[in-house]
Each structure stands twice: as C-alpha cells, then as structure tokens.
Amino acid sequence: MDDKRIVLCGANAYDKKYYFNETFKGIPDSIKDELHIICVLFTEEVGGIFTIVFEEDGTLSLETDAEENDFYYDEVSSGLLVSEIRRKRQELFESLRLYYRVFVLKEDVSDILQEGNE
C-alpha cells in the first residue's frame, strides 16, 4: 500500500473484526458509528475485507478484497454495493474529505470554501 494513503476504517469478515484508525479520533462519534455500520454490514452481505481509505488528496476510496479461496465472496455484488454506498453516502464522504483536508493536510479553510464557489 502506498504510504501516502491512510486507512480510515475497515471490517474483515474472516476475523469478524472492525478497525478504526485512532488518528481520526476527532471525528464525531455519530460519524464513527455510521462508518462502523457501513463497514460491518458490507462484510456481512458480501464477505471479504472492506476498507475506507483516504487518498493523498483527501478523496476516499472504498476497497474490497477477498482471500483467494473464498468461494462465497461475490465480486459482482461487492461492486454494486460499493456503488450504492458511494451514491447514498456522498454527503458523508464529502464531509470526511473536508475534515481530512483541514485537519490532516492543514489546508486553509477559506481556500477550500473559495474552491467550492468557483
């Protein structure tokens, strides 16, 4: 994994575990809970491993993977579910991107707001 990418959270159907990166402990608990639900429900529905990752510029990637011998993992369903999550949670992901740019990348809020008005 590229060292400029940072995992925000993820769930693993094989270990039945959820992970949240404590670097982002400043995110409100309601958002943390929502991310937890998204990740766990994803792995419950299609299996495998699901992660939400910040790219270098703050955009979020939703990634899914499965062990090579996992015959129950449904790659088609996972792709459809990722698309559905992106569509339904677009506002959440945009807020997280803004959080990342301000608190991690230390970008000036006024510059970010000016971008939105252009």
How much is the pLDDT for 1? Answer: 45
Residue 117 φ then ψ, to 5°: -90, -5
Quote the pLDDT of residue 116: 67
Nearest-CA neighbor of 35 among 110, 96, 117, 76?
Answer: 96
- What is the predicted pLDDT for the residue at 17? 97
CA-closest candidate to residue 44, choices 76, 5, 81, 9:
81
Q: What is the pLDDT of residue 118?
A: 66
Note every long-range contact of 65-69, with CB atoms under 8 Å and residues 24 or more positions apart, other chains counting. Answer: 67/14
Report the pLDDT value the prediction gives residue 74, as an integer from 0 to 100: 85
In order along its 118 residues, the chain shows pLDDT tens digits of 447 899 999 999 999 999 999 999 999 999 999 999 999 999 999 999 999 999 999 999 999 999 999 888 988 999 999 999 999 999 999 999 999 999 999 998 888 877 766 6
Give the residue carrying structure tokens 């740019």: 101
